[in-house]
Structure 1
Amino acid sequence: MEQIKTFSLSRHSRLFSVEDLNRDYLFVSATRHPHLEQPYRAESYAIGYLRKGEIQLQAGLIIHNIKAPAVITLAPSVIRSFSKSSESIDLEIIFFKNSFLLEKHADLFFLLKQDFFENSDLTVLSQKHEIMEKIEHIFKLISLTHHSANFHAGNIIRNYIFVLIYEIDAFYRQNQSNSPVQSLNPLTAKFRQLLKATYLQERKLEFYADKLSVTPKYLSAAVKKQTGRSASEWIAETIVLEAKVLLQNKSLTVSQISNQLNFVDQSVFGKFFRANTGVAPVDYRKNL
């Protein structure tokens, strides 16, 4: 198996059977469901428009059953996987690197300010709203430009991506009260934010409870009541997800992965992984 660190644009082009022109962006028009059950990260940002059909996406620990029309936004850092839903779809995706979009932009942190790329709760915008009409038109323009012999195609597509981002950002700003993140109680929201920042260093429930000034029992119950998972399950599943991504990179030994995830040794990591997945890390890697 090829070593996997992140999914490159070339790898995405092979997945969708489209021509790879070795650009810093890739436009895909797909009629079949993307099917990658193993979690992975990508080297590029992605904005997708599901025009018809249904797909299932897991972003982080959040599972989205996405029905058209819908917009999907993913940052490189987001661990994602896809499983079968409907066979026939109409899906267009523009993949782009940070360096491509911000080549001539003064604000190098522009993409980091767009919460919907990084936040797994906001990665899907699925509403029959006038924004979908705008998205439809913008993707048609991207497609027309991509398939033309326009000398300025790269610059034109770059600007269409900016328009997409501004439209999506404007929608979320105008509809904050309906946002999935807004519906989280403050304790759960703070816990998930803290977990995202520290899971590589800390996996004890007591640490998170102490930081949030509540008892471990109260934290776990509060998180489970709202999300269906206890705080301990969130911690364990987040670490397991990271481990699965790292195990796909065969240039890393299991011992090195254990160190990256801050386990005392490979044996402790192996017991943790087996307890949460039913298989040993080595067997998981063999079965990829």
Structure 2
Amino acid sequence: MKNKSAEKIKTYSPTGFREKFLGEDNPIHLLFKSNSDHFFCLEIEEIMQMQHPVPPSKHSCHTLIFISSGQHTMKLGYQEYTTRDNEMIMVPAGQIFSLDNVNNIHKGYICQFHPDILIRKYGSREMLNEFDFLKISGNPKIGLAPEDVNTITNILERLKKEYSETAFTDLNIVQSYLITLFYEMNKNAVKTPNGISAAEVITGKFKELIHDHIKSQHQVNYYASMLNVTPNHLNKCVKTVTGKSAVKWIDENILLEAKYLLFQTTLSVGEIASQVGHEDHSYFSRFFKKHEGITPLQYRKLIDKS
């Protein structure tokens, strides 16, 4: 079943991409064996090379991409990352991402797995806190030391074998190898320095809170209260660390959530407005057009024509 799925992905046409994405033959969905088995690991060249941009999207699974040869550029939120030879990038579950294409990737692996796999028999939520790259506010990109490339490759090859060559994936084996993989990645990850500033700590927590509450909370006052600081102090910290105000961060995240819903759901514009915390859909449309230059409906039609 898995090999057939890979074959279907290779022949997947970009025509009607949004319709394909929403349909039962979504190429990513084809890689999962069942509703309770949210895991796959394959060489990148086994999966279709996309010839078209992917608008803001998100998945309920973590996605790990390892580039052994080539180059891959994608946006996580509004931040762009380019991954090159012997580099890895993690897209945490629930993180909105977008990309232009992956045509420059020659070799590598893509591994996708549900977060629940990590807290099965051998894991815990406390242990996962050790891996900054799994956090929305963490650094998702990892460059591997030359001596660690073979180790990482061997683990991914073993995960690929468990997915591709067994009738029923043993998730205990998958979990064990994923945890081993993460500790190997952690050796190469950019560590948060001990002398991290208070502003950076507050900004990181602010980003996490936005991710969790953006659908209902749009006021700086709310986030400042959650962090036990004044709105002015929160704004000063965020501006110092990121170069953007707290209000700008909130507005951008509302827009990203709206774009994801316009692409990845069939909800009406009014329903999407409600989903992102704007009960007045006409106000939401004006807000969207002010920032994007087109209305939400025009944005959706552009995707449909891509």
TM-score between the two structures when normalised by the length of structure 2: 0.74
Find 1:12's aligned residue among 17, 23, 28: 28
> Which of these residues, 19, 28, 36, is aligned with residue 42 of structure 2?
28
Q: Aligned in 2, Cα 1:108/1:206: closer, same or farther, shift over 3 Å?
A: closer
* SS of residue matched to 1:39: strand
Task: Give the letter aligned to residue 233 of structure 1.
Answer: K
In the other structure, the counterpart of 2:182 is: 165
Q: Summarize deviations over 1:151-205 as a string: whole Å, max 9, x none.
A: 6764544432232133334655x944299x8896234234323323332222233
Question: 2: CA distance between counterparts of 1:178 and 1:136?
Answer: 31
Task: Indicate which of 198, 222, 230 corresponds to 1:214.
Answer: 230
Instruction: Please tell me whether residue 122 in structure 1 is matched to residue 139 in structure 2.
Output: yes
| Equivalence for 1:205 | 220
**Matching of residue 66 in structure 1 with residue 80 in structure 2:** no
- Structure 1 segments unaligned to the other structure (5+ residues): none
Residues 1:44 and 1:195: Cα distance change in structure 2 (over 3 Å): closer
- Please report how far the alpha carbon of residue 226 of structure 1 lies from its aligned counterpart in structure 2 after TM superposition: 2.5
Does the alignment pair 1:279 with 2:294?
yes
CA deviation map 1:24-74 (0-9, x unaligned): 322222247655430111132222211111111211232212222112222
The aligned runs of 1:48-87 (5 Å cut-off) are: 48-84=65-101, 87=104
Identify the residue that residue 270 of structure 1 maps to in structure 2: 285
Closer, same or farther: CA 99–185 of 1 in aligned 2, 3 Å:
closer
Code of the aligned partner of 1:11: P
The answer (yes or no) to whether the contact 1:9–1:26 under 8 Å persists in 2 is no
Query: Which range moves more in the overlay, 218-227 or 228-237?
Result: 218-227
Match of residue 223 from structure 1 = 238
For residue 47 of structure 1, give the secondary structure of its aligned residue in structure 2: strand
User: Contact conserved, 2:58 with 2:95, CA < 8 A, in 1?
Assistant: yes
Secondary structure of the corresponding residue to residue 110 of structure 2: strand
Structure 2 residue identity aligned to 1:191: F
Asked if 1:177 is matched to 2:193, the reply is: yes
Deviates more, 1:240-249 or 1:221-230: 221-230
Deviation at residue 75 of structure 1 after TM alignment: 2.8
In 1, the alpha carbon distance for the partners of 2:161 and 2:197 equals 37
Query: Could you tell me how far 1:239 is from its partner in structure 2?
Result: 0.7
Residue identity opposite 1:96 in structure 2: F
Asked if the contact 2:62/2:114 (under 8 Å) is kept, the reply is yes
CA distance in 2, matches of 1:60, 1:96: 20
Cα distance between partner residues in 1 of 2:199 and 2:74: 21
CA distance in 1 between counterparts of 2:27 and 2:127 reads 23
The answer to whether the 8 A contact 1:8-1:42 is kept is: no
8 A contact 2:63–2:110 mirrored in 1: yes
- Root-mean-square deviation (CA, aligned residues, Å) is 3.7
How far 1:108 moved relative to its partner?
6.6
Give yes or no for the alignment of 1:239 onto 2:254: yes
Equivalences for 1:133-172 in 2 at 5 Å?
133-148=150-165, 150=166, 154=170, 156-169=173-186, 172=189
Offset of residue 282 of structure 1: 1.1
SS of the residue aligned with 1:53?
strand
